Amino acid sequence: MSLSIALTKGRLEKDAVELLDLCGYGTEKLKNKGRALVFEDTREDFRYFLVKANDCITYVEHGVADCGIVGKDTLMEGGSDYYELLDLKIGKCKFIIAGMKDHNPLTMSGNIRIGSKYPEAAKRYFLSRGLDAEMIRLEGSVELAPVLGLCDGIMDIMETGRTLKENGLVVYDTVCDISARVIVNKASFKIKRQEIMKFLTDMERAVERCSE
Ligand code: PRP
């Protein structure tokens, strides 16, 4: 049976394709992609889709994709009707809480406003610290928000820390480590178990080879 695999475009794309390469899969079409969004593997009976991170979960939950490769940050924010089965150890970064110097949102009293692309995950984190913070949903350039006074702090992903530094923000806490995961549609895992297990085993070996 064929497998449909949703890949997150952007940051994770290159490293994910490298892992697929290490598995010996035929990724030529993915690497010379132009503006196409669906690609047949040239060696395996696989079809890849390139989608935005949130949509990757949606495609997998609806079973249009059997498997998906998506960041843990996105998984922590939305959806839960899938199996998360493998840590690919690519796209490594951290969820952090940051704010302006001398303005730590975690030690504030009164109303705390937090800007984030991940308001659900941020809300949970603040509640776990006993803080009922107000969430302001942002779509990008999150570091700008505390600088302009839209919020007291942000919860965002930090990779190199450069964006924070260049905007004069400091880290007040590290929430958790983030990396890309393989998620699997629940029904597909029953119906296509053999194919999915082979895909997971191949990917796991590729991850091990990368860390050698
Ligand atoms: C992400 C994140 C930070 C930045 C962190 O944004 O939201 O802004 O990367 O990376 P760094 O620690 O290496 O500087 P992204 O580039 O995905 O764009 P966005 O602001 O449009 O969300």
Atom of ligand 1 nearest to the CA of 164: 14
Asked whether residue 36 falls in the same domain as residue 81, the answer is yes
3-state DSSP helix/strand/coil percent for the chain, to nearest 5?
35, 30, 35
Any bridge partners for residue 183, and if so which? 68, 84
Q: Which domain holds residue 205?
A: 3-91+179-211
Number of Cβ atoms within 10 Å of the Cβ of 73:
23
pLDDT at 155: 98
Tokens of 167: 């905007």
Residue with CA at minimum distance from ligand 1 atom 2: 157
Quick one: pLDDT at residue 79? 83
For ligand 1, what atom is nearest to the CA of residue 159?
Answer: 12
Confidence of residue 162 (pLDDT cuts 50, 70, 90): very high
Query: Letter for the amino acid at 128?
Result: S
How many angstroms separate the alpha carbon of residue 72 from the centre of ligand 1?
Answer: 15
Please check whether residues 85 and 107 belong to one and the same domain: no
**Helix pair 13-22, 193-211: axis angle to 10 deg:** 100
Alpha-carbon Rg of the chain, whole angstroms? 19
Same domain, 123 and 64: no
Q: What is the pLDDT of residue 97?
A: 98
Residue 46 shares a structural domain with residue 113: no
* Residue given tokens 């497998």 in the structure block: 3
